[in-house]
Structure 1
Amino acid sequence: MKIVISGFYGLGNTGDEAILEAIIDNLRDGLESPDITVFSLSPEETARTHNVKSVYRAWRQDNKGKIKALKEADLLISGGGGLLQDAYPTKFLFGPLPYYLLIVMLAKMCGTKVMFFSQGIGPVTSGWGKTLMKLANMADFITVRDQYSKDLLHKLGVTKPQTVVTSDIVFAFKPKKDDSAKASLPLKGDEKLVAVSVRPWFEHVKQFEQMAQILDTLITERGVTPVFVPMEGHHDKNASEKVMSHMKHSDKTLMLSTEFTPNQYLNFIGECEVTIGMRLHALIFSTLMGVPHIGFSYDKKVESLLKRSGMWDFSADLENINVPELTANAIKLLVERDAYSQTVKGNAESMRAEAVRNIELLKQNFLS
């Protein structure tokens, strides 16, 4: 089976690279010798890393390569991740929505079937975005990673393809033992590590100071060592430094390099007592590894994950951060870590089964 994968690949985002690795690994497990081509902004690196074919994803070059790949393919996988949204600027042909939906349209013009795969939908709030979303009816089959996404699709008028709720494909990620990230840190060996994931979110900055207050208290009262995990290169590194700039005890914190692979970040988070974070896939990695976590939810996708992982009661919406309450929650998770770890592991198992189901649904709908 010849498959083209379209998503936010080759741009250095750890979560999206984890999505790609999980899709490829599970396709190879579930199908006989799939022929895979990935649309990537770094095609040579993507091809080398995953042993696949790769074509430059943007419109400014190799459009013939994209058309050729789609004409030869049996299936376009659009996803996973939060591709269909207009939180970022969306103009006539600029932005995530036009890009991904035009790829879908191109695939259909080439006679190729289309599956939206383990996607998170939204937000879609602009008039143009809502109009564009009607093009999603061209898909042959859709899986989404949460009920909110399915409900939003229907609200936006995407009703023709069958839509099934599964879970984020990263829950089917196949960890490989690798302690490179932890080994890179100047640790004595008896530290209580807390993984910290922060990201920029448009004009919102108050969370940096709030995170700093929580971490300072955990350092002084529980003796933890916060370690910042920058999952999108310099963007998260800069956000982490903003948190540290508000801290009284920033000298007691550490930061990982921006150069680690998704698997290496995953293994590091698995060594931590607790995660406090914003990045969706930092929280998914925590769930996968049975690490209790507190989320600062900036988007419905984060809230949905936290509810499914069993950690929403310990977390909060970004607009409603109560520092004393979340600090107390973090201390509770640290003190009763083993019990909450079991809760998270149990919920992760059910989401892993749903993630693997994405491949089974693909086989049922596209293998004759």
Structure 2
Amino acid sequence: MKVVISGFYGLGNTGDEAILEAIIDNLRQELDSPDITVFSLSPEETAKTHNVKSIFRGWKQDFKGKVRALRQANLLISGGGGLLQDTYPTKFLFGPLPYYLLIVFLAKLCGTKVMFFSQGIGPVNSKWGKTLMKMFANMADFVTVRDQYSKDLLHKLGVTKPETIVTSDIVFAFHRKEDTSCMDSLPQLERKDNLVAVSVRPWFEKVKQFEQMAEILDELIEQRGITPVFVPMEGHHDDKASRDVMKHMKHADKCHILGTDFTPNQYLNFIGQCQMTIGMRLHALIFSTLTGVPHIGFSYDKKVESLLKRSGMWDYSAVLEEIDSAKLTQNALTLLDNREEHSQVVQANAAQLRAEAMRNLDLLKEKFVYTK
């Protein structure tokens, strides 16, 4: 089977690279020698990392190569991740939402089946974005989404033609490989059993969360002697955000920041060795769920809230605009003091989410491989 994968790949975002790795690993596990091509911003790196064919994703380079790949393919997998959204400006044919929908349109012109795979939908607020969704998303042959919110939004936007099934983020089916590179990169620590993973990101002009995170971490250092370790899930963007938090801390000297060039698998292994995660990035929280690590989320988007509700950690978390530092500090202390109990809750929910993630593959085979 020949498959083309389209997503936010080759741009250095750990969450999206984890999605790609999970899709590729599971396609190879579930299908008989699939021929995989990935549209990527860094095609040479993507090809080398995953042993696949890769074509530059932008319209201005190798358009013929993209057409050729789609014509030869049995299926375009669009996703996973939050591709169909207009949080970032969407103008006519520019922006993530029109890009991914036009790839779908191109695939249909080439006679190729299309599956929206484990996607998180929205927000889609602009009039033009809503028009594009209704026009092009209905061309998909089948859709799986990672939460109920995404399915409801699709229907609200008038995307009703393709059958839509709620599963979970494909990263819940990630093939973890043992790797201690992140831990080994840290300076020699007196203790390694008190680490708290921290994930922060820039979010437009909002900066108050950096001060709030600093307050929480300072309190945890003083009351429980934790060692915060920042995990930069998107390279220099998150590295800067991490340093912005530390600028507000009294005990910044107790903190560490991991390097920005580790793989998704290496970050996953590190988070799995921590006592707790406090974070913004969706996939830092997914990594925590996967490894049974209790976590507190700063929810800047519905996708984060949806994940926290499914992982069992929403009651300990908060919407970004409603953060109460004192309350979240108390929640963190509760999780640390009762870690085993909360870890068991997370592990049980992770098992269910993994089963739902694998259903993406079962449905792909049912709809596109075993059809007569």
Decide: shared fold, TM above 0.5: yes
Unaligned residue ranges in structure 1 (runs of 5+) = none
Q: How does 1:109-120 map to 2 (within 5 A)?
A: 109-120=109-120
Is 2:366 the partner of 1:364? yes
**Aligned equivalent of 1:287, options 286, 289, 296:** 289
1:194-235 deviations in Å (ceiling 9; x for gaps): 000000001111000000000000001100000000000010
Aligned counterparts of 1:129 and 1:98: Cα–Cα separation in 2 = 8
Query: Structure 1 counterpart of 2:313, which letter?
Result: M
Is residue 215 from structure 1 mapped to residue 217 from structure 2 by the alignment? yes
Alpha-carbon distance between aligned partners in 2 of 1:275 and 1:337, rounded to the nearest angstrom: 12
Question: Residues 289-325 of structure 1, C-alpha deviation per residue, up to 9 Å, x if partnerless?
Answer: 0000000000000000000000000000000000000
Instruction: Indicate the SS of the match to 2:346.
Output: helix
Amino acid in structure 1 at the alignment position of 2:271: I
1:6 matched residue in structure 2? 6
Q: Does 1:145 align with 2:146?
A: yes
**Residues 188-199 of structure 1 correspond to what in structure 2 (within 5 A)?**
188-191=189-192, 192-199=194-201
CA offsets, 1:211-261, max 9 Å, x none? 000000000110000000000001000100100000011000000000000
In the alignment, which residue of structure 2 is the partner of 1:259? 261
Aligned to 2:247: 245
Q: What residue number does 1:164 align with?
A: 165
Q: 1:190: how far off?
A: 1.7
Rounded to whole Å, the distance in 2 between the matches of 1:116 and 1:58 is 20
Partners of 2:32 and 2:19 in 1: CA distance: 21
Name the amino acid aligned to 2:157. Answer: L
Q: Distance in 2 between matches of 1:167 and 1:17?
A: 17
Give the letter for the 2:196 counterpart. Answer: V
1:54 alignment counterpart: 54
**What is the CA–CA distance in structure 2 between the aligned matches of 1:236 and 1:144, rounded to whole Å?**
27
Distance across 2 between alignment mates of 1:38 and 1:198: 29
Partner of 1:34: 34
* Secondary structure at the counterpart of residue 84 of structure 1: coil
Q: Note the residue ranges of structure 2 that are not aligned, 5 or more in a row.
A: none
Q: TM-score, normalised by structure 2?
A: 0.98
Whichever residue aligns with residue 284 of structure 2, its letter is A
TM-score by length of 1: 0.99
| Shift of residue 188, structure 1, vs aligned partner | 2.5
Task: Indicate the SS of the match to 2:265.
Answer: helix
Question: Any runs of at least 4 consecutive aligned residues in structure 1 with deviations exceeding 3 A, and if so which?
Answer: none
Give, as a single letter, the amino acid of the residue that structure 2 aligns with 1:74.
Answer: N
Distance 1:345 1:156 in 2: 35
2:161 aligns to what SS in structure 1? coil
Residue correspondences, number: 368
Matches within 5 A, 1:81-100: 81-100=81-100
- Structure-2 change in CA distance of 1:189 and 1:362 (3 Å): farther
Q: In the alignment, residue 275 of structure 1 is paired with which amino acid?
A: T
Which residue number corresponds to residue 122 of structure 2?
122
Task: State the distance in 2 between where 1:243 and 1:190 align.
Answer: 23
Q: Which residue does 1:64 correspond to in 2?
A: 64
Q: Secondary structure at the match of 1:5?
A: strand
Q: Supply the distance in 1 between the matched residues of 2:212 and 2:60 (Cα, whole angstroms).
A: 41
Structure 2 CA distance, aligned partners of 1:322 and 1:106? 47
2:36 and 2:260 map into 1 onto residues whose CA distance is: 28
Specify the SS of the correspondent of 1:343: helix
Look up the match of 2:232. Answer: 230
Write out per-residue CA displacement over residues 107-138 of structure 1, whole angstroms, 9 at most, x where no aligned residue: 00000000000000000000001001011000
Instruction: Output the amino acid matched with 2:162.
Output: P
Partner of 2:278: 276
Residue 345 of structure 2 aligns to a residue whose secondary structure is helix
Q: Give the SS at the match of 2:365.
A: helix
Displacement of 1:9 in angstroms is 0.2
**1:187 Cα deviation (Å)?**
3.0
- Aligned residue for 2:328, secondary structure, equals helix
Q: What is the alpha-carbon distance in structure 2 between the residues aligned to residue 63 and residue 84 of structure 1?
A: 22
Instruction: Give deviations 1:33-67, integer Å, cap 9, x for gaps.
Output: 00000000000000000000000001121111100
Task: State percent identity of aligned pairs.
Answer: 77
Which residue of the partner structure matches residue 44 of structure 1?
44
Equivalent position SS for 1:334: helix
Superposition deviation, residue 189 in structure 1: 4.9
